[in-house]
C-alpha cells in the first residue's frame, strides 16, 4: 500500500479490505458457532491470539529474509508512461532529466497529493530549462534510430496497408502519400495562398496576423510550413497519410494533390504501430 502508485491506491485498498473482510468473516462465524455451542469464550480467544502471534512471527521472518522494501513506488510500464508523458517523454529517466531532478525526487512528487508538490511538478514541466532539456532528449533519441528500427517500421506500415486497404472504387483517385507530396496541399489549404481564392483557416490567420496579412508573404508561408510539417511527418511515420490526386496539365507529372488526410489507426500513436 505504501509503495503503490497513486492511480492504483484505490484498487489496492479495495482488494486489501475485501481479503481481510472475507478472512475475518470466516473467523467470526467459527468463533460465534463455538461460543454458541459450548458457551466458552476463553478457548476461541486463545486460538485467535495464537494464530495472530504465529502470523506476525512468520511475517517478521519473511520480511527479514526477503529483499528490503523499495524506497520508491514499483511502477508498471503503463504507470511509467502516465508520469513521463507529462514531460513529453516515455521513461522516468528522461522525465527526471527534463524536470531537472533525480528519478527518486520525481517519483516522490508524482505520488504526493499535496498542492505545493503538484504545483512544483507543474512548474518543473513548464519551465524554460525543461523545454531546452526536452529538445536535448529529442535529439538524443532521434540519433538512436537504427536501420533495424526502420525495417521494423516498414513492416508495420505494410501491416497497416494490409489491414486498412484503399477500397477499389477509390483507388483511381486516392493513394497513400508522404509528408513531401502532401506538404504543399496542406499548407495552401490552411493558409489560402497560391492564387486559388480560398479562405484562410481562422486560427492560422489569427496566429500569422501579427506577422503579416499577406498570404503570399514568404515568411508567413515558411512559418505555416514549420507548424504543419511536423504534423505531416507524424502522420506519415505513425499513421496513414492519404491523398486525393487529380489531373493537372500545369503539373510536371500531369497530376496534383487536391486533398490530404492524416489518419491514426487505434493504438498507432501509443504503440508506434510496432506492437511495443
Is 1 a domain residue? no
C-alpha to C-alpha distance for 194 and 179, rounded to whole angstroms: 19
The CA–CA distances, whole Å, from 195 to 199, 236, 257 equal 11, 28, 16
Single out the residue in 117, 143, 169 at which a domain terminates.
143
Same domain, 240 and 131: no
pLDDT of residue 273: 44
Among 119, 93, 127, CA closest to 107: 93
> 160 in a domain, yes or no?
yes
Whole-angstrom distance, CA of residue 82 vs CA of residue 199: 40
Query: Is residue 72, in this structure, part of any structural domain at all?
Result: no
Residues 81 and 138 both lie in one domain: yes
Residues 124/128/134/140 CA torsion (nearest 10 deg): -130
d(CA 70, CA 264) in angstroms, rounded, equals: 39
Q: Write down which residue in 65, 97, 112 finishes a domain.
A: 65
Q: Using CA atoms, how far apart are residues 218 and 163, in angstroms rounded to an integer?
A: 40
Decide: 231 and 189 in contact? Cβ < 8 Å. no
Q: Is 276 a domain residue?
A: no
Per DSSP, the chain holds a count of helices (H) and strands (E) of: 12, 3
Half-sphere exposure at residue 164, Cβ-oriented, CA atoms within 13 angstroms: 15
- Say whether both 177 and 230 belong to one domain: yes
Q: By CB neighbour count within 10 A (0-12 exposed, 13-18 middle, 19+ buried), where does 47 fall?
A: middle
Same domain, 225 and 264: yes
Confirm whether 71 is domain-assigned.
no
Q: Could you give the count of Cα atoms lying within 13 Å of 112 in the half-sphere of its Cβ? A: 15
Per-residue pLDDT of the chain (276 residues; tens, 9 = 90+): 555 666 676 777 888 889 988 888 888 888 888 888 887 888 888 888 898 899 999 988 888 887 666 666 667 788 888 888 888 888 888 999 999 998 888 888 887 778 888 888 888 888 878 888 888 887 777 666 555 556 666 676 777 777 888 888 888 899 888 888 899 889 888 888 876 666 788 888 888 888 888 888 888 889 888 888 888 888 887 788 899 998 888 777 788 888 999 888 877 766 544 444
What would the DSSP string read from start to end of 164-224? SPPPGGGTTTEEE--HHHHHHHHHHHHH--SSS-PPPPHHHHHHHTTT-S-TT-HHHHHHH
The answer to whether 70 and 59 have CB atoms below 8 angstroms apart is no
The structural domain count of the chain equals 3
Residues 193 and 264 in one domain: yes
- Could you tell me the residue range of the domain that residue 212 belongs to? 152-271
Q: Write down the pLDDT at residue 243.
A: 92
Q: How far is CA 230 from CA 24, 51, 79, 224, in A?
A: 59, 65, 28, 11
Q: Are residue 160 and residue 265 in the same domain, yes or no?
A: yes
Q: Do 159 and 267 reside in the same domain of the chain?
A: yes
CA distance 162 to 113: 47
Task: Find the length of the chain.
Answer: 276
- Is the separation of the CB atoms in 39 and 56 below 8 Å? no
Domain match, 166 and 262 both = yes
- What is the C-alpha separation between 216 and 194, in angstroms, rounded? 7
Q: Is residue 95 one of the residues assigned to a domain?
A: yes
Report the run of H or E that residue 242 belongs to, with start and end. strand 240-247
Beta pairing, strands 255-263 & 174-176? unpaired
- C-alpha–C-alpha distance, residues 119 and 150, integer Å: 40
Tell which of 38, 65, 92 closes a domain: 65
**Are 131 and 157 found together in one domain?**
no
- Please check whether residue 70 lies inside any domain of the structure: no
* Domain identity same for 250 and 200: yes
82 and 187 assigned to the same domain: no
Amino acid at each position: 500500500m505504501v509503495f503503490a502508485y497513486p492511480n492504483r491506491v484505490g484498487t489496492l485498498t479495495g482488494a486489501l479490505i475485501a481479503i481481510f473482510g472475507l478472512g475475518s468473516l470466516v473467523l467470526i462465524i467459527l468463533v460465534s458457532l463455538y461460543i454458541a455451542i459450548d458457551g466458552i469464550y476463553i478457548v476461541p480467544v486463545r486460538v485467535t491470539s495464537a494464530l495472530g502471534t504465529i502470523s506476525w512471527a512468520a511475517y517478521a521472518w519473511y520480511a527479514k529474509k526477503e529483499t528490503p522494501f523499495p524506497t520508491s513506488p514499483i511502477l508498471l510500464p503503463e504507470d511509467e508512461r502516465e508520469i513521463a508523458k507529462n514531460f513529453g517523454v516515455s521513461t522516468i529517466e528522461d522525465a527526471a532529466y527534463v524536470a531537472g531532478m533525480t528519478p527518486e525526487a520525481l517519483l516522490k512528487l508524482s505520488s504526493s497529493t499535496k498542492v505545493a508538490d503538484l504545483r512544483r511538478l507543474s512548474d518543473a514541466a513548464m519551465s524554460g530549462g525543461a523545454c531546452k532539456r526536452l529538445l536535448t532528449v529529442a535529439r538524443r533519441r532521434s540519433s538512436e534510430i537504427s536501420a533495424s528500427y526502420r525495417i521494423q517500421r516498414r513492416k508495420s506500415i505494410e501491416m497497416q496497408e494490409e489491414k486498412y486497404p484503399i477500397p477499389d472504387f477509390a483507388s483511381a483517385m486516392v493513394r497513400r502519400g508522404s509528408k513531401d507530396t502532401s506538404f504543399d496541399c496542406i499548407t495552401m489549404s490552411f493558409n489560402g495562398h497560391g492564387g486559388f481564392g480560398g479562405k484562410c483557416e481562422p486560427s492560422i490567420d489569427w496566429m500569422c496576423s501579427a506577422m503579416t496579412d499577406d498570404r503570399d508573404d514568404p515568411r508567413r508561408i515558411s512559418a505555416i510550413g514549420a507548424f504543419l510539417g511536423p504534423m505531416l511527418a507524424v502522420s506519415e511515420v505513425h499513421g496513414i497519410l492519404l491523398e486525393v490526386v487529380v489531373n493537372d496539365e500545369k503539373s510536371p507529372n500531369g497530376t496534383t494533390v487536391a486533398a490530404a488526410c492524416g489518419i491514426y489507426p487505434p493504438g498507432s500513436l501509443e504503440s508506434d504501430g510496432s506492437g511495443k
